[in-house]
Amino acid sequence: MATSMGCLVVLCLVSPLLLAGAVHGNPGYGGLFPQFYDHSCPKAKEIVHSVVAQAVARETRMAASLVRLHFHDCFVKGCDASVLLDNSTNIVSEKGSNPNRNSIRGFEVVDEIKVALETACPGTVSCADILALAARDSTILVGGPYWEVPLGRRDSLGASIQGSNNDIPAPNNTLPTIITKFKRLGLNVVDVVALSGGHTIGLSRCTSFRQRLYNQSGNGLADSTLDVSFAAQLRQGCPRSGGDNNLFPLDAVTSTKFDNFYFKNILAGRGLLSSDEVLLTKSAETAALVKAYANDVHLFFQHFAQSMVNMGNISPLTGSKGEIRKNCRRLNNYH
């Protein structure tokens, strides 16, 4: 069993050529490469890291929020900082979509990074690249893996609230729906499970998992895959009605540390969201990965790092497309 599981995991890994592409600006990574700002803004990475480190020191939860911001950006129109735009005459902000409203956060930290970068090298570093770097630095700061971030993205000239409502995987989506949403963007099943492992940090609102406690299948019963004592514990803070914004750790064991307890929790019936638990119960392929990551934190870290690079490469704007925003919340020609 161990051998076949290992084979599955290795077979699903991305090609080493793509890994090389991440470093050399190979077209496989849309022309992005880690050294993009080495001459134009040599201290860019240092500045981002410094502001993120201060933000995470103030509030550990911010690490998860910044990783999620990058995720919610990339899944809508690609990694183009569209998620950062506020409402304006011509823009309906993605911040008001169902996945983001009263939920997505970290915008002030991005503003702080942008101000520091504009002081150091005006009009040079994109908001989209800030999100990619901040997600990597956040991961490291709470104990997760390091990866080289391919850079050179530019910022969008618009947003898509429809895309935000429809394309971001939801906590109550079925596993086939989640896999389809990933595949549409060129991401595979390994990416689905590895990136779900980002739930090893952060908090979730009661409204995101209430149906598992009271009416998972429309029959008024709790989700049978949920550990009974864990469900009872959750019900104390997540009543049948009200308390929508009450917060719960996605990983109740080590909620502020990036590790593989998320996967161990799933094996124990203690995954918080339906979209977490279905990775074990609805597909042999995803279940094998859950078990592999629960068993080997280094394998999880390796796959998570590669999947973050893969996700960061979704439809970037490069060359003369888009712009480099001076303020991440609005277009340069803002009226």
Banded model confidence at residue 53, pLDDT cuts 50, 70, 90: very high
- pLDDT value for 23: 38
70 is catalytic: no
Q: How many whole angstroms separate alpha carbon 162 and alpha carbon 176?
A: 21
pLDDT, tens digit (0-9, with 9 covering 90-100), for 226-283: 999 999 999 999 999 999 999 999 999 999 999 999 999 999 999 999 999 999 999 9
Q: How many whole angstroms separate alpha carbon 129 and alpha carbon 134?
A: 8
Cα dihedral 152/48/191/186 (nearest 10)? -20
Per the annotation, where are the binding residues for substrate? 169
* 14 pLDDT more than 80: no
From the candidates 70, 72, 303, 335, give the one annotated as an active-site residue. 72
- pLDDT value for 335: 57
pLDDT, tens digit (0-9, with 9 covering 90-100), for 278-322: 999 999 999 999 999 999 999 999 999 999 999 999 999 999 999
Q: What is the pTM of this model?
A: 0.91
Q: How many whole angstroms separate alpha carbon 137 and alpha carbon 134?
A: 5
Stretch 165-189: mean pLDDT: 97
Instruction: Dump the DSSP string for 159-228.
Output: --HHHHHHHS--TT--HHHHHHHHHTTT--HHHHHHHHGGGGSSEEEGGGTHHHHH-TTSSS---TTS-H
Taking a C-beta distance cutoff of 8 angstroms, is the pair 124, 292 a contact? Answer: no
Per the annotation, where are the binding residues for Ca(2+)? 73, 76, 78, 80, 82, 94, 200, 251, 254, 259
pLDDT, tens digit (0-9, with 9 covering 90-100), for 59-118: 999 999 999 999 999 999 999 999 999 999 999 999 999 999 989 999 999 999 999 999
Cα dihedral 11/14/20/24 (nearest 10)? 170
Instruction: Dump the DSSP string for 123-138.
Output: TTS-HHHHHHHHHHHH
